[in-house]
Amino acid sequence: MSYYFAMMGTNDSPIYELEFGTFRQGGDGIARFPPEMRELNPFVVHSALDVVEDVQWASNQLYLKVVDNHYGYMISAMCTAGNIRFMLLHKSGSAGSASGPTGSSVVGSSGSSSGSGSLIGSSSSSSSASHNEEPIRQFFFDAYELYVKTLLSPFYSLNQPISSPIFDQKIRALAKKYL
């Protein structure tokens, strides 16, 4: 399975991006997105920001679970107290079965779908999404801890892109541990 992780700043610009593959079940950690999807990853994640904003104000949780679906790819999100959004694009277990004719669906916190797709992030979601939720949640919270440590540095300013090789190495280690 391939993943695209993005940390979006308060001004909706990416402050950190990483594309990686799974290390589970003999994976080598290399992302295997189709070429046409690889180019769209940043756009798909950026388009889900509106959904994240809608869900974040209706929920009292930092981890928002799966908030959007785009042609068999799910977007999981976490919103920090400082309004930094952590977003993870990943393949759903049953590609295409959770999306409607347009390929995307939107879920509010009440569980009602405001798109033409099915409910995402609710109790009726696919079992593959629910069994993958806990590792994603743990990945987000550990990545949040790393971000807070970076934010405490006097050499880092809010919304500045993170280019530290040590930060990148630690995020990759978290991805290997959880995903």
Domain ranges within the chain, ordered by starting residue: 2-178
Contacts of residue 115, defined as CB under 8 A and 6 or more positions apart, other chains included, come to: 100, 102, 104, 105, 106
Instruction: List the pLDDT tens digit at each of the 179 positions of the chain.
Output: 889 999 999 999 999 999 998 877 766 777 788 788 888 889 999 999 999 999 988 888 999 999 999 888 999 999 999 999 999 999 876 433 333 333 444 444 444 333 333 334 443 344 455 567 899 999 999 999 999 999 999 999 999 999 999 999 999 999 999 98
**pLDDT value, residue 129:** 54
**pLDDT value, residue 103:** 43
**pLDDT value, residue 152:** 94
pTM of the full structure: 0.77
Assign domain 2-178 to its CATH architecture: 2-Layer Sandwich (3.30)
**pLDDT value, residue 122:** 42
**pLDDT value, residue 25:** 73
Q: Which two tokens stand for residue 56?
A: 């974040």
**pLDDT value, residue 131:** 65
